[in-house]
Copies of this chain bind each other. A is one copy, B any other.
Amino acid sequence: MPSGLAPAELIAILTAVTDDQPRVMTLRGGEALPSGPFESSHRSLQSGLRDWIEAQTGHPVGYLEQLYTFADKDRDPRSEEVTSSQRISISYLGLVREQDAPGARRPTWRSWYRYFPWEDHRGDHSPKELPLITGRLAAWAKGDALKIQRVDYLFGLNGKPWNEELVLQRYELMYEAGLVDTPEFGAPMAGDNRRILATGISRLRAKIKYSPVVFELLPESFTLLQLQRTVEALSGLHLHKPNFRRQIDQQELVEETGEMSSGTSGRPARLFRYRPAILEARMLSGVRLPLSRP
């Protein structure tokens, strides 16, 4: 058994939230995710990537989590060619406070929804692309009961609820149906980068429900509305304000700083800070999503 020697590559999905938009750091005019070779000199995968990101962007990375490891042929289902050496790619999800380093090298932060416009359900109406997409999917699924069921489930049709976590599954369904190269249905990326981004969004949308990672995206002190807007940006959902606040203080994840917000319109709000002391004790409760507007 000859063991394959494969070069390893690290790929980062760096996410920040600004102006109520969840954003991802991109290169080459928004067409590629940042990536680089894995250096033998690094202490570990995790710390190697951390050093590399901070050097490249000037942003400290608050949270870094491994997502998935691909071999080349896994990555782009379109290419049928047989490559002799398979590159191994390890993808990571990183959360940064974009405002931390305003003066540093300006990378291009793009909204997630530029690539997945159908995933933003915050407005009063569902995204304008959705009817077109589901129409095309219905035509594609016609006759196959299993496919119809899958479309209904993934896109919340026929009484089924919209599940915001299924970003990757929806993208893969659209890929099967041949819809992902339609420019009106989201901006393209090089290779399989858009699929990797979908993986990261899925993971993060799941994670905010049972882990306090949101706070890695917020400044030191914040109002409860800021917190809610951030969760809404990530999940792409509109949340019920009173219930959201009820959950937050039931979980005792935050404490008042004593200060009040200023500079905004409307009544000033109390400022809060995250209580990292009980991080582990609250790990498995975390932020849940009390939805509203069906």
Contact = CB atoms under 8 A, between A and B. Distances in A.
Interface of A: 1-9, 36-40, 42-46, 48, 66, 68-71, 73-74, 84-86, 88, 90, 146, 149-150, 153-154, 160, 163, 165, 169, 277-278, 280-281, 284
A73 B88 contact: no
A4 B38 CA distance: 6
A38 B71 contact: yes
30 contacts: A1-B39, A2-B39, A2-B40, A3-B8, A3-B9, A3-B37, A4-B8, A4-B39, A4-B40, A5-B5, A5-B6, A5-B7, A6-B8, A38-B86, A40-B84, A40-B86, A44-B73, A44-B74, A45-B71, A66-B68, A69-B69, A69-B90, A88-B88, A88-B90, A149-B280, A149-B281, A150-B280, A153-B281, A165-B284, A169-B280
A119 to B, nearest CB: 17
A210 to B, nearest CB: 9
Interface residue SS majority, chain A: mixed
Given A153-B280, A153-B281, 8 more contacts: A2-B37, A2-B40, A6-B6, A8-B8, A40-B84, A42-B71, A43-B73, A44-B74
A52 to B, nearest CB: 10
How many copies of this chain sit in the oligomeric assembly? 2
Contact of A4 (B2, B37, B160, B163): B37
A246 to B, nearest CB: 22
Contacts of A71: 38, 42, 44-45, 48
B281 A8 contact: no
A207 to B, nearest CB: 12
A6 B38 contact: yes
Contacts of A281: 149, 153, 160
Contacts of A5: 5-7
A257 to B, nearest CB: 22
A251 B5 CA distance: 46
A68 B153 CA distance: 29
Contacts of A39: 1-4
Contacts of A88: 8, 38, 88, 90
